[in-house]
Amino acid sequence: MEVILKEDVINLGQRGDVVKVADGYGRNFLLPKKLAMEANAANKTVIEQMKASSVRKSAKEKTEAEALVAQLDAVSLSFTRKVGENEHLFGSVTSADIAQQLESKGFAIDRRKIHLDEPLKALGEFHVPVKLHREVTAHLKVNVLREESAAAE
C-alpha cells in the first residue's frame, strides 16, 4: 500500500513523502492516527500544496526551536534521590521526571523529545539531549543529588 505522510514518522519518512508500507500498518496505524493518507491521483495533487506549506512550517518550527535552545542552555535541573550502599540509587530519573520539572519552570516539552537511552541511576551530572526539531538538539544539564537523611545516625 502506498501512503502520503502527513507528519514525520520515525524510521519511515518525513512529512510529504510517498512511502510503501504493509497494508495492515497503513490501514490500522497510519490512517486512523491521521499520520498519512492514501496515495491516489487526487491526494497527490493535494500533497504538492502540503509540501509547500510544510517547508514554511518547518522553517518556522526550526527558528522557534533554535530560540528555545538558547533558553534551555541556561537551565540546570536537580533531582534528589535516596541512595543506598555503594552510591546505588533507590529509584531513577526518567524522561518523564525531566519533562515534569521543565514544565514547572515554564517549558512545555514532550517527554518523548527527551532522549535518555536508559533512566539515570547514578549520582552525578549528566547532559541529556532534547530533540526539539529534526535539525535542532538542545543539551540539558541534569544533576542527580543525594537526599540528605533527616536522622543522621
Q: Which part of the chain has CATH 3.10.430.100?
A: 75-146
CATH number of 2-62: 3.40.5.10
For residue 57, name the pLDDT band (cuts at 50, 70, 90). Answer: confident
CATH class of 75-146: alpha beta
pLDDT at 149: 63
Range(s) of the chain covered by CATH 3.40.5.10 = 2-62
Helix (H, G, I), strand (E, B) or coil at 20: strand
Instruction: Determine what percent of the chain is predicted with pLDDT higher than 90.
Output: 30
DSSP one-letter string for 86-152: GG-BSS-B-HHHHHHHHHHTT----GGGB--SS-B-SSEEEEEEEEEETTEEEEEEEEEEEPPPSS-
Q: How confident is the model at residue 147 (pLDDT cuts 50, 70, 90)?
A: confident
**What confidence score (pLDDT) does residue 151 get?**
44
Cα gap 81→134, rounded to integer Å: 33
